[in-house]
Amino acid sequence: MSPEGASHAIEEYMKALRKQASIAESFYYGRIGEGIEGLLELPEDVRLKIDQLIWDAAGGEAIDPTDPEAGELIADAILFSLEERMGLHAS
Amino acid sequence: MGSMSFPSKEMMQLASFEARLGEDLSLQDIEEIEQQIVGLNQTTDKTRGIAVGLFNRLEAKKPALIDRGIVKMEQASDPVSKIKLLTPLIGYLEPSAVDEKLEAIKLEASLCDQKIQDAVQKQLEHLEFAQQKPVIYEVEGLRAEMERIAQKIEESGTLDALKLLNPVQLGEVRRAIARIA
């Protein structure tokens, strides 16, 4: 890894975090199409983790993303994953 | 043979912060310097005393910068720019003052075309979302920290500053490298 490459990668990492925050915001405000489009652009492992978090938070029930409460639940799952990606949950 | 004492690493860092007091600092610069002072190992009464003095002088600079920021915000030509300029000031203002300014911006936007109204609405949502979900502010804090680390890497030409990242952050940087390679 070159210093230039590392510096660029740090910038990309921050862009990815901000993008994830904006995806959460889309769901929070009911912009479902925009939110789903953003979710599909996330790395697969991150997306799977978010699916799992939503599933757990909804108690295994199907949720309707157009319902405002479900929108906030999805936003919270995305933000929890965001905190993980920032290393805030590391022990 | 006489002994020679060298200034400690903390003293050197405090001196570099002291030197920055003469620069045209922004509120964000001041916050960053304050965070760096807090992160220092203040092992002696002398370094603690200097750190407190620096804090006081940094705090004393804030009111003028806030006033200047408000004037700049009020002179901005459109409501979207006004919200963007107001955002970094929000933490320094009374909630009632923030509400008052936001109401004035909304009123101004209501007189503009739909495109501007939509842009203002989106900016207001960003603000409200950050207030509801404080992790958004933490992302911004991390961004400032990461910019410093990237700068250290570029200036030193080595990867030593990567040691400042926690293991998760390092993994994410490696992921980004794999993606852009």
Res. B35 pLDDT band, cuts 50 70 90: confident
pLDDT digits (tens, 9 = 90+) for B157-169: 999 999 999 999 9
For the entire predicted model, the pTM comes to 0.77
Q: Across the interface, do A1 and B159 touch by the CB < 8 Å criterion?
A: yes
User: Which residues does A contribute to its contact with B (CB < 8 Å)?
Assistant: 1, 3-14, 16-18, 21, 24-25, 28-29, 43, 75, 79, 82-88, 90
pLDDT digits (tens, 9 = 90+) for B87-111: 889 889 998 998 899 999 999 999 9
- Please check the confidence at residue B23 and state whether its pLDDT lies above 60: yes
CA distances from A53 to A23, A59, A62, A81, B167 (A): 15, 10, 13, 8, 22
Token match 């790395």: residue? Answer: A43
Chain A residues closer than 8 Å to B174 by CB = 9
CA distance B105 to B97: 12
Res. B181 pLDDT band, cuts 50 70 90: confident
Residue B8: per-residue pLDDT = 76
Q: Across the interface, do B135 and A28 touch by the CB < 8 Å criterion?
A: no
pLDDT digits (tens, 9 = 90+) for B133-153: 989 989 988 998 899 899 999
Alpha helices per DSSP H over chain A? 3-28, 32-41, 44-57, 68-85
Q: Across the interface, do A7 and B157 touch by the CB < 8 Å criterion?
A: no
The pLDDT of B69-94, averaged and rounded, is 92
ipTM score assigned to the predicted complex: 0.88
CA distance B31 to B49: 19
Q: Across the interface, do A6 and B159 touch by the CB < 8 Å criterion?
A: yes
- Please check the confidence at residue B156 and state whether its pLDDT lies above 80: yes
B130 touches A18 (CB < 8 A): no
% of chain B surpassing 70 pLDDT: 95
Output the average pLDDT for chain A: 93
- Please check the confidence at residue A62 and state whether its pLDDT lies above 90: no
pLDDT digits (tens, 9 = 90+) for A4-13: 999 999 999 9
Q: Across the interface, do A7 and B169 touch by the CB < 8 Å criterion?
A: no
CA distance B35 to B13: 13
Size of interface A-B (CB pairs under 8 A): 95
Q: Please, which residues have CB within 8 angstroms of residue A17's CB and are 6 or more apart in sequence?
A: A82, A85, A86, B139, B142, B143
- Which position has the higher pLDDT, B58 or B11? B58
Q: Which of B127, B39, B36, B43 is nearest to B85 (CA)?
A: B127
DSSP string, chain B: ----PPPPHHHHHHHHHHHHTTS---HHHHHHHHHHHHTS---SHHHHHHHHHHHHHHHHHHHHHHHHHHHHHHH-SSHHHHHHHHGGGGGGS-HHHHHHHHHHHHHHHHTS-HHHHHHHHHHHHHHHHHHH-THHHHHHHHHHHHHHHHHHHHHHTSSGGGGGS-HHHHHHHHHHHHHH-
